[in-house]
Amino acid sequence: MAFSKIGVVGCGLMGSGIAQVCAQKGFRVVVREANQELLQKGLDRIKGFLAEGVKRGKVQQADMDKTLANLKGTTNLRDLADVDIVIEAITENMDAKKALWKELDGLCKRETIFASNTSSLSITDMASVTQRQGKFIGMHFMNPVPLMKLLEIVRPEIADPATYESVRQLGESLGKVMITAKDTPGFIVNLLLVPFLCEAVRAVENGLATPQDIDTGMKLGCGHPMGPLELADYVGLDTTLYIADVIYGQFKDPKYAAPPLLRRMVLSGRLGRKSGRGFFEWEGDKRKGS
């Protein structure tokens, strides 16, 4: 299937990044958010990212203008009725996702492919509320989407081969490097990443070392571009906790059990970058002192 018009639901950090990358590659994009305030915030994030690229000489002004011309923001789900694919990037809540997909299933044309950007939830479970299970797949982009090359395609057993191939070609046209995972909790990346992050939190909890020294050890000792605690802050400690709980709920393996310290930090509002404080202090997208 050839794509010309792409729908993105959610214009938060992930959704805006997905919408931006698609628009930059010449696709017409309709991005939908729940209300005008959140929509404008997301569109402003895209404009700011592109403007910074122009300032640094990495994006041409003409390319920025073309990208923004390819983008349309809306708060009306019906504006996605004629898109070729819908990429969902809303909150990691299965009930919310199912409600969205059920509504979209009645709005979109029958050939439209549905793709979720979920980082841990079952694609098969989402697809169960629709009449297009063969056209349902996972497209797990990495954050920040415009900079990270990886796209994790989650291929449930119910997905038609043609759906997988169409999405693979789309990912290729977006300039992504793709890996394919089965529809199991955490897929590939988070299945391996979550225990790593949890162990780093446990190291702090047990007084092994400071967050700074733990991160420096992994960066300089193992060649990681970002330490595990800074990464957890960047992703969001609440998101990290949620994914850990989802995977632990499926496997009951202690390595996925969230450390009590992580849970306490989330309960106290220390969510990392998004709240300005987690294991480190943040100013916008930048960690203080980095």
- Find, among 112, 155, 134, 123, the residue nearest to 3 by Cα: 112
pLDDT tens over the chain, length 290 residues = 689 999 999 999 999 999 999 999 999 999 999 999 999 999 999 999 999 999 999 999 999 999 999 999 999 999 999 999 999 999 999 999 999 999 999 999 999 999 999 999 999 999 999 999 999 999 999 989 999 999 999 999 999 999 999 999 999 999 999 999 999 999 999 999 999 999 999 999 999 999 999 999 999 999 999 999 999 999 999 999 999 999 999 999 999 999 999 999 999 999 999 999 999 999 987 898 76
Same domain, 103 and 49: yes
Residue where a domain terminates, one of 130, 162, 181: 181
Same domain, 162 and 228: no
Active site residue 190: yes
User: What's the CATH number where 230 sits?
Assistant: 1.10.1040.10
Q: Is residue 234 part of a domain?
A: yes
Residue where a domain terminates, one of 125, 147, 181: 181
Q: Is residue 116 part of a domain?
A: yes
Same domain, 126 and 233: no
Active site residue 152: yes
Q: Is residue 286 part of a domain?
A: no
Q: Is residue 20 part of a domain?
A: yes
The catalytic position among 16, 152, 166, 230 is 152
Residue where a domain terminates, one of 181, 203, 219: 181
The catalytic position among 117, 140, 166, 230 is 140
Residues 6+ apart with CB under 8 A from 99: none
Angstrom distance (rounded) from CA 104 to CA 81: 8
Same domain, 236 and 176: no
Active site residue 224: no
Strands (E), 2-141: 5-9, 28-32, 71-74, 85-88, 113-116, 136-141
User: What's the CATH number where 35 sits?
Assistant: 3.40.50.720
Q: Is residue 288 part of a domain?
A: no
Active site residue 283: no
Same domain, 157 and 258: no
- Find, among 208, 230, 209, the residue nearest to 219 by Cα: 230
Residues 6+ apart with CB under 8 A from 206: none
Same domain, 171 and 194: no
Q: Is residue 284 part of a domain?
A: no
Same domain, 47 and 70: yes
Q: Is residue 290 part of a domain?
A: no
Same domain, 86 and 14: yes
Same domain, 93 and 125: yes
Q: How many domains does the chain have?
A: 2
Same domain, 173 and 198: no
The catalytic position among 119, 120, 122, 166 is 119
pLDDT of residue 284: 82
Question: What single DSSP character describes residue 114?
Answer: E
Dihedral of CA atoms 213, 218, 223, 226 in degrees, nearest 10, equals: -80
The catalytic position among 116, 120, 122, 190 is 190
Cis peptide bond N-terminal to 254, omega within 30: no
Q: Is residue 287 part of a domain?
A: no
Same domain, 96 and 163: yes
Q: Which domain holds residue 198?
A: 190-279
Same domain, 116 and 207: no
